[in-house]
């Protein structure tokens, strides 16, 4: 399963009022290409911060917050796992697209193949954490993840190839932030 296929598989499973935080680089691009929505925050230049930004939203909102992360991105911000696990936001769902490398910065190998990210999340206090390294079981794993009590993390294996790279998100970070603020303000809690 490619990163694009995984993103295209998960986004239709989300409710219209779910909030999505997409990791910088390729994951944001894939999310934008698959299904742009005002309640998606596309991170740019903030590697390692997906869990922390999603946590801030989850602590202040009632809606489900979905963090679309990469293994390299998560490894850069491991402190976010401890914060999520310690604060236990029941509405936070963390999907790690695990390709074993830092794809956005040139494909350098990451140590995620040697680190059980789901076990780390469980140890940090996530209520549900699993790994799925089978494309055949990805849809089933995503359903279980979204039905689990939060915080929940699914570490999903994806192929490292990037045969059809998605274009850049055509918004500046201030435009993205303003759009997210407007979308969240439009829906009273």
Task: State yes or no: pLDDT of 64 exceeds 90.
Answer: yes
Kindly list the distances between the CA atom of residue 9 and the CA atoms of 16, 112, 128, 174, in Å, as whole numbers in the listed order: 15, 22, 20, 28
- Looking at the DSSP bridge assignments, the partners of residue 102 are 108
Task: State yes or no: pLDDT of 154 exceeds 60.
Answer: yes
Tell me the CATH number at 88.
3.40.50.970
Question: Burial level of 35, CB count in 10 A (0-12/13-18/19+)?
Answer: middle
pLDDT digits (tens, 9 = 90+) for 35-46: 999 999 998 878
Please count the structural domains in the chain. Answer: 1
Task: Label residue 24 by pLDDT band (50, 70, 90).
Answer: confident
**Distance, first Cα to last Cα, the chain:** 36
Compute the radius of gyration of the chain from its Cα atoms: 15
Spatial distance between the Cα atoms of 97 and 62, rounded to a whole number of angstroms: 25
pLDDT score recorded for residue 41: 95
- Supply 187's token pair: 């829906």
Identify whether the C-beta of residue 129 lies closer than 8 Å to the C-beta of residue 122.
yes
- Domain range enclosing 99: 3-186
Q: Which residue has the tokens 């469980």?
A: 122
Task: State yes or no: pLDDT of 101 exceeds 60.
Answer: no
């Amino acid at each position: 399963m490619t990163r694009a296929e995984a993103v295209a598989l998960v986004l239709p499973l989300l409710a219209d009022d779910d909030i999505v935080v997409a990791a910088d680089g390729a994951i944001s691009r894939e999310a934008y290409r698959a299904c742009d929505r005002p309640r998606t925050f596309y991170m740019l230049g903030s590697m390692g911060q997906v869990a922390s930004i999603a946590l801030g939203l989850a602590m202040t909102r009632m809606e489900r917050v979905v963090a679309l992360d990469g293994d390299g991105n998560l490894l850069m911000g491991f402190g976010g796992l401890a914060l999520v696990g310690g604060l236990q936001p029941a509405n936070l769902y963390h999907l790690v697209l695990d390709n074993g490398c830092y794809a956005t910065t040139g494909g350098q190998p990451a140590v995620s193949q040697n680190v059980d990210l789901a076990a780390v999340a469980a140890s940090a206090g996530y209520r549900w954490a699993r790994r799925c390294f089978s494309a055949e079981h990805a849809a089933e794993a995503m359903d279980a993840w979204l039905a689990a009590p939060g915080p929940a993390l699914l570490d999903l294996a994806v192929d490292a190839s990037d045969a059809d790279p998605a274009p850049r998100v055509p918004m500046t970070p201030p435009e993205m932030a303003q759009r997210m603020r407007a979308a969240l303000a439009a829906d009273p809690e």
